[in-house]
Amino acid sequence: MGYSKTLAVSLFAVLLLAPAVLASDPDPLQDFCVADLDGKAVSVNGHPCKPMSEAGDDFLFSSKLAKAGNTSTPNGSAVTELDVAEWPGTNTLGVSMNRVDFAPGGTNPPHVHPRATEIGIVMKGELLVGILGSLDSGNKLYSRVVRAGETFLIPRGLMHFQFNVGKTEASMVVSFNSQNPGIVFVPLTLFGSNPPIPTPVLTKALRVEAGVVELLKSKFAAGF
Question: How would DSSP label each residue in 186-220?
Answer: HHHHHHS-SSPPPHHHHHHHHT--HHHHHHHHHHS
Where do the structural domains in the chain lie, given as residue ranges? Answer: 24-182, 185-223
Tell me: cis bond preceding 114? Omega within 30 of 0 counts.
Answer: no
CA-CA distance, 165 to 105, in Å (whole number)? Answer: 6
Contact criterion met (CB below 8 Å) for 186 and 110: yes
CA-CA distance, 109 to 103, in Å (whole number)? Answer: 14
CB atoms within 10 A of CB 209: 10
pLDDT of residue 37: 86
**111 among annotated binding-site residues:** yes
pTM given for the model: 0.82
Mean pLDDT of the chain: 87
Q: How far is CA 136 from CA 114, 140, 158, in A?
A: 18, 9, 12
pLDDT of residue 221: 85
Cα angle 151, 141, 76; round to 5: 65
Q: Helices marked H in the chain — which ranges?
A: 2-22, 52-55, 186-191, 199-206, 210-219
CATH number of 24-182: 2.60.120.10
**160 among annotated binding-site residues:** yes
**47 among annotated binding-site residues:** no
What is the dihedral angle through the alpha carbons of 41, 42, 44, 50, rounded to the nearest 10 degrees? 0
pLDDT of residue 59: 85
Strand arrangement of the beta sheet that strand 159-164 belongs to: 141-147, 126-132, 159-164, 107-112, 184-185
pLDDT of residue 198: 97
- Spans of the chain, pLDDT less than 70: 1-26, 41-45, 224
pLDDT of residue 18: 46
pLDDT of residue 42: 60
pLDDT of residue 2: 56
